[in-house]
Amino acid sequence: MRTYNLESHQNEVLEKGFTIINAVFSEKEIEGIIHTIENIDTSKDTFRKSEDLFAIRQFLKEAPESVDSIFIDRIKEIIKDIFGEKYFVVKSIYFDKPEKSNWYVAYHQDLTISVDKKVDLPDFGPWTTKQNQFAVQPPLDVLENIYTLRIHLDHTDEENGALKVISNSHAKGIYRPETIDWTIEKEEICKVERGGVMIMKPLLLHGSNRTTNGKKRRVIHIEFSDIELPEELQWSERMHIM
């Protein structure tokens, strides 16, 4: 396994809104995670399946046997040194973009958090509910505090739906995609090796293109925070892993 300078990656996340660390998981570790996913009961409401996308929401809850395989010492070190010692899981999704996928994702920011119920709170809203799961747009400081860890189970580049991002857009608050000034903004393609991870801030403008090379793109998306919500509200997927 490679050694990496986590301080430089931390600085890159703060400056650009994302960083990529390759060779975090070994081939054997990746195969173990994939084996666990392939043996999950996919009939539940938290699963979304179509020709273009297979997704498992609340992934760590639905596949608890994957927790130890994912949160190996190298990942815990990355979380502690880049995010902070008090960060915990608040959301997890597994995405499988199949070989023939025409699934295209336009530029957007991740503006909602997953919570346990709907309550009227100042500065929380709008609300959405899908399959008895509640999501809400929280105050900006909550969004700015979150880190997203994307674990890549396949080599990902521009031909099979790698994320494309607008560097530093995470520092501009709520930034509507339709207002992007392409004379000053630059798109970057985030190529990540199988077994590598991408760390990003949810307010980073990001999207992805259709797959053109007939190769899969499987990613485990996990969000972390160290913020306590108002006492009436709880993170729906809160999990301490440190």
Contact 177, 4 (CB under 8 A): no
Q: What is the 3-state secondary structure (H, E, C) of 9-30?
A: HHHHHHHHCEEEECCCCCHHHH
Contact 93, 55 (CB under 8 A): yes
- Gap between the Cα atoms of 139 and 156, Å rounded: 33
**Domains of the chain, start order:** 6-225 (2.60.120.620)
- If we measure between CA atoms, which residue out of 211, 218, 242, 207 comes closest to residue 89? 242
Whole-structure pTM value? 0.94
Contact 129, 118 (CB under 8 A): yes
- Gap between the Cα atoms of 192 and 27, Å rounded: 14
Position 49 confidence tier, pLDDT thresholds 50, 70, 90: low
Position 204 confidence tier, pLDDT thresholds 50, 70, 90: very high
57 phi, psi to nearest 5 deg: -85, 155
Q: What is the DSSP string of 180-234?
A: --TTT--EEE--B-TT-EEEE-TTS-EEEPPP-SS--EEEEEEEEE-PPPPTT--
* More reliable by pLDDT, 4 or 182: 182
The pLDDT tens digits for 158-178 are: 988 899 999 999 999 999 989
